[in-house]
Structure 1
Amino acid sequence: MIAMVDALSYNITTDRILLVDSNNNFIYTGNPNDEADQMRFVITSATEIIDENGNPLTLDDLKPGKMIRVKHATFQTASIPPQTTAFVIELLST
């Protein structure tokens, strides 16, 4: 089941996973050599993690180097790296 998110209320980012912090429920994506070119996604109890076919996955299924597509909030913090809330994380096969 895909999260019911209004199409105008989210952004989409497609990038490689740098780090999965399962203790704090974060996923980092972006350039490993440039913190200003990274994003930290907050994983909540409402965040859906799925494969390309819509099958449910867990945070433990996500590994550094894997490509993901993230539907996330339109807002982000002013921190480096910026932080925002992930609504849906789709693990891509590429």
Structure 2
Amino acid sequence: MDDSGSVTKAELVSGHPLLSKAAVEAAKKWRFESAPIQSRTTEVKFRFSLLPERDESDVQTTFFPPDEVEIELTPAKPPVNYGRGQ
């Protein structure tokens, strides 16, 4: 991240090849806020995982000091419309 909170580098560690480019582009759009005091520059590694579908949406964030964050997300099921377009 740079001083403005913009992501400067994102890379895919693993995932489906058809989604890799979209995942990296989405991560580059993330924005972060600087700490209000004692600001310093540091490299932070995020591990973001989409978990298999479950009954409900769930997000779990784990911090690994000093510089790693892991985010696991179970996406909500998309609405499905089997009716005819009206």
Question: TM exceeds 0.5?
Answer: no
Larger Rg: 2
Taking structure 2 as the reference length, what is the TM-score of the superposition?
0.31
Taking structure 1 as the reference length, what is the TM-score of the superposition?
0.29
Q: Which structure has greater strand proportion?
A: 1
**Which one scores higher on RCO, CA 8 angstroms, separation ≥ 6?**
1
